[in-house]
Amino acid sequence: MISGFQIAYKNLLRKKSRTLLTLVGIMLSSWVLVSLLGFNRGYESALNRDIDNMGYQLMVMAKGCPYEAATMMLQGGTGLRYIEQSMVDSIVIRPEVDKVTPILMQAFFDPDKGDGGGIAGYFGVDLTTFPTMKPFFRFRQGGWFHDEQATEAVMGFEAAELEQREVGDMILVPEKNVQLKVVGILERTGTQDDGTIFVPLKTLQRISGIDKITTIGIKVKKDADSAKLEAALYQLPDVQVVSFTQVKQTIMKLVATARVMVLSIAIIALLIAMVGVVNTILMSVLERLQEIGILKTMGAMPGDIFRLVWTETLILCFSGGVAGIGLAFVFARLSDILVRRVLPYAPGGELVAIDLKLALLTLAVIVVVGLLSGIYPAWKAGRVRPLESIRGE
Amino acid sequence: MKGKAFLKIFLTAFLLFFAAAVPAFAAVGCDLNDPDRDVVRLFPDSTGYKTSYAAIDKRGGEPLLRRVEQRLRDRFHGIYETIDVPYTIYEIYNGKRKVGYIHGVNQKGQFGGIQVFVALDMEGRIKSFYIQKMTSQWAKKLRDPKFGRQFTGLALKDFEAYDPATGKASGKVAEIRNPAPEAEIDFRAALRALKKNLILIDEFVFSAERGKP
Amino acid sequence: MMTTESGVSLEARGLTRVYRRGSEDIRALDGVSLQIRRGEFVSFMGPSGSGKTTLVNLLGCLDNPTSGELELAGRSIFGGGRILSERELTRIRREVFGYIFQNFYLIPTLTVRENVALPLAFYRKPGVDGEVERLLGLLGMEHRLDHLPGQISGGEMQRVAIARALVNRPEILLADEPTGNLDTKRSEEIGEVLQELNKSAGLTIVMVSHNPNLARLGGRLIEMRDGRAYES
């Protein structure tokens, strides 16, 4: 006994190179599709991770203040505005707030850093609250300051590397010519903290002669209403609230446009491959008109013929899809390894995150699209009249 | 308020992800900040240059490291002076003719990193001496061209007897004046960097040209 | 059993088939009437365009007539202006007929055994288990079961085609120029096979052939000229 599946499968083997070429087409387009979907997901989770790694989700700072250390450095450390440290107390009592930490950002001009001079950025942080906000900070050497007034510093990985500092060495705060002892050097975090020098808040305030702060970092309780908190914080005088969720949303919006474009390309690739499938099947139907006619004389109903041809489409799309997704898996691992070789630090986890669910989803898409495109050739085959086809020699 | 806020958020977003540029090497090297400008300054008659990188582990491994330390009369210290540090070598050309080299090393100073560059002629004699970066109250004095001019004409052989650990010098090197006695540590660091610089370029470039293994 | 008490398998009355070609009407078949009894071996001969193939196609329910009637064992198939759909024709065909043609039309990627079993994938009459092997044995192909069509001779291919046509135990075998692609010797062999099937198994055979020797094997010869049938 022979089944419809076997007949279909053996039919595809008749023109091996044509079948193979069609398969390659589907394989490539499914590879592209699944890789892009995987990258989308990998990117979004990497983004989430980076945001989470900031430790705090909200920042409160003086209106008009550049709150990013790099911006600050670009602007040359001028235009910094301050907020009162007492604001911390009014924020910490709010029910949605888990933790707060006051931060003072300062930049000092070092005329001997390169030819035109450069900016050195310092973060004054509170010993009791800041480290708990960043529990994932790892130390390459040493640890945090010994007390709140210590003339000590903790350096980010790159900041230390640039200055060739190790624990026990001294650094000099430019302009103020104050010496600080390095007590800790952090491991890489992949964020801007790598280029930052951390100093006890009170110490930095003393050095700068300022008793205020620039930023308050806020960690929100897990199930709290973040939006409500933000709205309340906006009410505080002369401050602006920066939410990293907002940042993430902005980035995702920017990325979304690119994503749509890229996804469209993947879909077009898929459609082109499907055109290839339809063409292949149609050609093979036209080549087999007489044979189909004979099948009908054997008692094959139009529905049987339709199913037979449709099965051929199914086999092509399924095999091509599986092959393409398999390829994507292999290459995802490969490109992951490559990326890690080139960059000693890449965001943790997979950059191209293809999991089984995604693979199955992509396969389903390919099979469904394939079956839809296969309707026409199958229908045409079903409608063949034995007489016309047999006579047509 | 809305527009400005968006702009700020955008800027943060942008900088968040691009400001934290990740260097591609495990150890950090020493490049000229602006080679196009600096090469011309250090080699006025140059028309072009080529950049290459050399690291001890790739050029000779442990044996080379031993030899360098021996010539330096000092061991390599700490987590930043390692066998895999990439050193930048600029080959300087006038037209098609090579006219000299520029080479830089990172050195640990008292309060920060010191970046020491030398420009050498084809015989290995110092044409210019240049401290690109130094963190110190007295950095100005050591970065003053007057200080650098003391080294013009000197070569590796003049430094052979210099001992970085004690600071004892003889011959021409002993005549080098420290304009900032309060920064004795950094002065000695600069000299160590210079000696190391000359040794490395001798090992990487000149000995190869001499045909030594 | 599709026979009446009188043993008539097929009855045609006034079968006419008109084709439209451009602005012309071509009468391929012009009011043919005949009867075929169960167990008969009827051959149709005639020049090209005589309508023999058209008639056989109508008798074999491969086509609808323009007018006329056809009965299979008393059951009316064509008549009263009714046009049967492809599905309906197929249902009738698979109950009653087996077909062989000049070009054997075996599926090249299936073995001999699989080719013969192919009709069973679409329709299986009760009680046909084992027919595949039995028929192939009967036709002398038992040693070629797993060969591909490309590995056997023309005569062997036609035997396989015959086995395939008979696997669902049809009443009537329709043969359209069965030896057209075979040499003299093979043609004779096939002729013998058909004769044997007719005599011992009582298979009704309706054949179209150019070959006079073959045509005379059946014992009943009908000549076709200009769409009309003349029996000698």
pLDDT digits (tens, 9 = 90+) for A25-34: 889 888 888 8
CB contact under 8 A, A166 and B78: yes
Contact predicate C161/C192, CB 8 Å: no
| Cα–Cα dist C60/A87, whole Å | 98
Burial class (CB in 10 A: 0-12, 13-18, 19+), C232: exposed
Helix (H, G, I), strand (E, B) or coil at A129: coil
CB proximity list for C63: less than 8 A, separation 6 or greater: A387, C17, C54, C57
Q: Which two tokens stand for residue C153?
A: 């001779």
Q: What does the pLDDT read at residue A71?
A: 56
φ, ψ for residue C103 (rounded to 5)?
-85, 125
Write the pLDDT tens digit of every residue in C106-118. Answer: 988 889 999 999 9
Which residues in chain A (8-47) have CB-CB distances under 8 A to chain C? 10-11, 13-14
CB proximity list for C229: less than 8 A, separation 6 or greater: C32, C34, C44, C55, C222, C223
| Cα–Cα dist B52/B186, whole Å | 28
Write the pLDDT tens digit of every residue in C127-178. Answer: 888 888 999 998 888 898 899 999 999 889 999 999 999 999 998 999 999 9
Burial class (CB in 10 A: 0-12, 13-18, 19+), A365: middle
Q: For chains A and C, tell me whether 3 or more CB atom pairs sit within 8 A of each other.
A: yes
Enumerate neighbours of C (3 or more CB pairs within 8 A). A
Query: Terminal CA-to-CA distance of chain C, rounded, Å?
Result: 29
Maximal C-alpha separation, chain A:
102
Give me the half-sphere count of Cα atoms (radius 13 Å) on the Cβ side of residue C128: 22
Q: What does the pLDDT read at residue C173?
A: 93
Confidence of residue B16 (pLDDT cuts 50, 70, 90): very low
Tell me, what DSSP letter sits at residue A177? T
Q: What does the pLDDT read at residue A346?
A: 46
Helix (H, G, I), strand (E, B) or coil at A376: helix
| Cα–Cα dist C67/C18, whole Å | 9
Burial class (CB in 10 A: 0-12, 13-18, 19+), C57: buried
Q: What does the pLDDT read at residue C118?
A: 92
Nearest to A220 by CA among A41, A58, A10, A14: A58
Q: What does the pLDDT read at residue A115?
A: 66
Whether pLDDT at A119 is above 60: yes
| Cα–Cα dist B154/B118, whole Å | 11
Beta bridge partners of residue C204, listed in sequence order: C172
Whether pLDDT at B158 is above 80: yes
HEC-encoded secondary structure of chain C: CCCCCCCEEEEEEEEEEEEEECCEEEEEEEEEEEEEECCCEEEEECCCCCCHHHHHHHHCCCCCCCEEEEEECCEEEECCCCCCCHHHHHHHHHHHEEEECCCCCCCCCCCHHHHHHHHHHCCCCCCCCCHHHHHHHHCCCHHHCCCCHHHCCHHHHHHHHHHHHHCCCCCEEEEECCCCCCCHHHHHHHHHHHHHHHHHHCCEEEEECCCHHHHHCCCEEEEEECCEEEEC
| Cα–Cα dist C126/C64, whole Å | 28
Contact list in C for residue A385 (CB cut-off 8 A) is 86
Alpha carbon separation from C141 to A46, A86, A294, C106, C134 (Å, rounded): 68, 102, 21, 15, 10
| Cα–Cα dist A277/A121, whole Å | 60
| Cα–Cα dist A135/A232, whole Å | 27
φ, ψ for residue C97 (rounded to 5)?
-110, 155
Whether pLDDT at C202 is above 90: no
Question: In sequence order, which ranges of B73-183 are alpha helices (DSSP H)?
Answer: 139-143, 145-149, 156-159
- Whose tokens are 């000590």? That residue is A152
**Could you tell me the residue ranges of all domains in chain C?**
39-65+90-231
| Cα–Cα dist C186/C179, whole Å | 8
Q: Which of A52, A57, A61, A113 has the most B C-beta neighbours within 10 Å, making it the best mutation to test the interface with B?
A: A113
Alpha carbon separation from B68 to A363, B62, B165 (Å, rounded): 60, 10, 15
Contact list in A for residue C108 (CB cut-off 8 A) is 14
Q: Which two tokens stand for residue A132?
A: 């708990």
- On whether any CB of chain A is under 8 Å from the CB of B59, the answer is no
Q: What does the pLDDT read at residue B21?
A: 36
Contact predicate A93/A221, CB 8 Å: no
Mean pLDDT, chain B, integer: 83
| Cα–Cα dist C188/C99, whole Å | 19
Nearest-CA distance C131 → chain A (Å): 11
Nearest-CA distance A130 → chain B (Å): 20
Write the pLDDT tens digit of every residue in B51-69. Answer: 999 899 888 889 999 999 9
Interface of C to A at Cβ within 8 Å reads 57, 62-63, 86-87, 90, 93-94, 97, 99, 101, 103, 105, 107-110, 114, 117-123, 164, 168
Burial class (CB in 10 A: 0-12, 13-18, 19+), A85: middle
Alpha carbon separation from C55 to A224, A262, C52, C104 (Å, rounded): 87, 62, 5, 21
| Cα–Cα dist A76/A118, whole Å | 8
φ, ψ for residue A371 (rounded to 5)?
-65, -40
CA A297, A303, A305 angle in degrees (round to 5)?
A: 55
Alpha carbon separation from A240 to A61, A64, A80 (Å, rounded): 6, 8, 14
How would you label A43-77 residue by residue, b for 16+ Cβ within 10 Å and e otherwise? bbbbbeebeebbbbbbbbbbeebbbbbbbbbeeeb
Among A2-11, A328-337, C96-105, top mean pLDDT goes to C96-105
- Comparing alpha-carbon positions, the chain C residue that sits nearest to A303 is C87
ipTM (interface pTM): 0.84
Tell me, what DSSP letter sits at residue B213? -
Whether pLDDT at A195 is above 60: yes
Whether pLDDT at A145 is above 60: yes
Mean pLDDT of C76-96: 84
Mean pLDDT of A217-236: 82
Confidence of residue A94 (pLDDT cuts 50, 70, 90): confident
CB contact under 8 A, C105 and A298: no
Write the pLDDT tens digit of every residue in B170-209. Answer: 888 888 888 888 888 899 999 999 999 999 999 988 887 7
Q: Closest to B22 (Cβ–Cβ): which among A113, A250, A343? A: A343
| Cα–Cα dist B59/B67, whole Å | 12
Whether pLDDT at B24 is above 50: no
Q: What does the pLDDT read at residue B134?
A: 87
- Whose tokens are 């790099």? That residue is A70
Whether pLDDT at B212 is above 60: no
Confidence of residue B77 (pLDDT cuts 50, 70, 90): confident
Q: For chains C and B, tell me whether 3 or more CB atom pairs sit within 8 A of each other.
A: no
Helix (H, G, I), strand (E, B) or coil at B146: helix
| Cα–Cα dist A212/A203, whole Å | 12
Q: What does the pLDDT read at residue B15?
A: 44
Q: Which CATH superfamily is domain C39-65+90-231 in?
A: P-loop containing nucleotide triphosphate hydrolases (3.40.50.300)
Enumerate neighbours of B (3 or more CB pairs within 8 A). A
Q: Which two tokens stand for residue C71?
A: 């009965």
CA B61, B67, B72 angle in degrees (round to 5)?
A: 125
Tell me, what DSSP letter sits at residue A236? S
Q: What does the pLDDT read at residue A108?
A: 82
Write the pLDDT tens digit of every residue in C41-73. Answer: 999 998 888 888 889 888 988 888 888 999 888
Mean pLDDT of B112-119: 91
Interface of A to B at Cβ within 8 Å reads 50, 66-68, 70-71, 110-115, 140-141, 158, 161-166, 169-172, 174, 177, 179, 190-192, 194-195, 240, 242, 246-247, 250-251, 254, 342-345
Q: What does the pLDDT read at residue A68?
A: 57
| Cα–Cα dist C125/C127, whole Å | 6
Q: Closest to B112 (Cβ–Cβ): which among A66, A163, A343? A: A163
Contact predicate A73/A88, CB 8 Å: no
**Could you tell me the residue ranges of all domains in chain A?**
4-51+251-391, 64-237
Beta bridge partners of residue A180, listed in sequence order: A171
| Cα–Cα dist C104/B2, whole Å | 80
Mean pLDDT, chain C, integer: 87
Contact predicate C227/C29, CB 8 Å: yes
Q: What does the pLDDT read at residue A306?
A: 93
C216 Rama sector, left if φ>0, alpha if ψ -120 to 50, beta otherwise: alpha
Report the percentage of chain C scoring pLDDT > 70. 97
Write the pLDDT tens digit of every residue in A241-268. Answer: 888 777 777 777 776 777 787 788 888 8
CB contact under 8 A, C109 and A302: no
Q: What does the pLDDT read at residue A202?
A: 93
Give the relative orientation of helices A302-342 and A356-382 as an angle to the nearest 10 degrees.
150
How would you label B179-196 residue by residue, b for 16+ Cβ within 10 Å and e otherwise? ebeebeebbbbbbbbbbb
Q: Closest to C94 (Cβ–Cβ): which among A7, A299, A383? A: A299
- Sheet with C75-78: strands ordered across: C24-37, C8-21, C67-72, C75-78
Whether pLDDT at A324 is above 80: yes
- Whose tokens are 């749509």? That residue is A260
Mean pLDDT, chain A, integer: 82
Mean pLDDT of A308-315: 92
Sign of the alpha-carbon torsion through A278, A279, A283, A284: negative
